[in-house]
């Protein structure tokens, strides 16, 4: 579903600012939102959806690019918030059609490169411009958009919320986030920066964060280790069998589940191929030096 909204212009003499949600507004998949001002468009996130049981033979679902194709010359850049499939999984399909630079953290870049190689798109990989976005660096200027950001926490490291300044006002695009003062493989959210941005004024904030409407907060990832120790002691189990979602790397990292399994609760059963893929990407950017040689991988 496509939902379009046009803000009440803060300055009627200027072009209107359009925010178009191609997907992700009504479900937690296929996140893709474009910001359009005059003859310029920037896109934030480009994820896949997951097929339902009735979709026989369908492996994944990508966003509908029809509107973007109709405005291809306006698209200037792609920004990615974090390394979950519903935010990055369709990047290779997008870049096949739209030759624009991609701004993201390095983990997103490595996952994207893997996907291009898996699809046999080595030529696309060679011709794609990957730009590392660091929230503490100077803002990125793309036409009328000035894009800065701040760090937020999630189940993957280095998640970014973007601050998009336009002639009509400031947009905050936060995607998924939480506040973790003791994060695994990450830095705490930039609370002081967030406070300053709010004090300066925000025209609109967009987020698809699950549970954002609920009161309270979430526990830090670091509590997982002690929790599993308590569970093991309670049931006197010698085995730990856990599902593994490779893009939940902070949750499953060597400082929590995996390290716990190696040092305290062997053997550990999981999907070794997914672990290898995750470790290949993360080790390239020194997220971890964990050795998985002692893990018992199955599948």
State pLDDT tens for residues 173-212: 998 888 888 777 778 889 999 999 999 999 999 988 777 7
| Pick from 26-30, 121-125, 146-150: least confident | 26-30
Q: Express each pLDDT in 229-268 by its tens digit.
A: 676 666 665 565 555 555 555 544 444 555 555 555 444 4
Cα-trace Rg, the chain: 20
**Confidence tier at 4 by pLDDT (50, 70, 90):** very low
Q: What is the CATH code of the structural domain delimited by 3-206?
A: 3.60.15.10
The predicted pLDDT at position 52 comes to 86
Among 35-44, 108-117, 153-162, where is mean pLDDT lowest?
153-162
Cα dist from 102 to 36, 85, 99, whole Å: 17, 16, 9
DSSP state of 137: S
pTM, 2 dp: 0.80
Report how far residue 293's alpha carbon sits from residue 279's, in angstroms, rounded to the nearest whole number.
12
Query: Do residues 240 and 265 make contact, with C-beta atoms less than 8 angstroms apart?
Result: yes
pLDDT of 252: 46
pLDDT at residue 67 tops 70: yes
Q: What is the dihedral of CA 266, 267, 272, 275, to 10 degrees?
A: -20
Per-domain boundaries in the chain: 3-206, 221-298
Question: Which of these ranges, 89-93, 155-159, 174-178, 240-244, has the smallest mean pLDDT?
Answer: 240-244
């Amino acid at each position: 579903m496509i939902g379009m909204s046009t803000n009440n212009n803060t300055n009627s003499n200027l072009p209107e600012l359009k925010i178009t949600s191609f997907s992700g507004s009504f479900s937690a998949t296929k996140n893709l939102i474009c910001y359009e001002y005059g003859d310029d468009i920037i896109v934030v996130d480009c994820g896949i959806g997951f097929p339902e049981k009735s979709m026989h033979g369908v492996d994944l679902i990508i966003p509908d690019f029809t509107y973007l194709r109709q405005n291809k010359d306006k698209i200037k850049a792609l920004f990615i918030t974090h390394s979950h499939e519903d935010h990055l999984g369709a990047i290779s399909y997008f870049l096949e059609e739209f030759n624009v630079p991609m701004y993201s953290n390095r983990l997103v870049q490595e996952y994207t490169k893997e996907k291009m190689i898996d699809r046999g798109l080595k030529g696309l990989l060679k011709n794609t411009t990957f730009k590392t976005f660091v929230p503490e660096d100077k803002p990125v200027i793309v036409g009328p958009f000035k894009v800065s950001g701040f760090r937020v926490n999630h189940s993957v490291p280095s998640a970014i919320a973007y601050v998009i300044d336009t002639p009509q006002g400031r947009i905050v695009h936060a995607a998924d986030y939480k506040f973790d003062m003791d994060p695994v493989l990450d830095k705490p959210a930039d609370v002081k920066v967030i406070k300053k941005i709010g004090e300066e004024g925000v025209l609109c904030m967009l987020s698809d964060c699950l549970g954002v409407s609920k009161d309270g907060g979430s526990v830090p990832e670091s509590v997982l280790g002690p929790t599993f120790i308590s569970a093991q002691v309670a049931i006197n189990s010698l085995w730990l069998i856990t599902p593994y979602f490779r893009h939940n790397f902070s949750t499953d990292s060597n400082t929590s589940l995996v390290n716990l399994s190696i040092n305290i609760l062997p053997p550990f059963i999981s999907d070794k191929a997914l672990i290898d893929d995750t470790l290949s990407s993360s080790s390239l950017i020194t997220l971890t030096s964990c050795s998985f040689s002692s893990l018992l991988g199955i599948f």
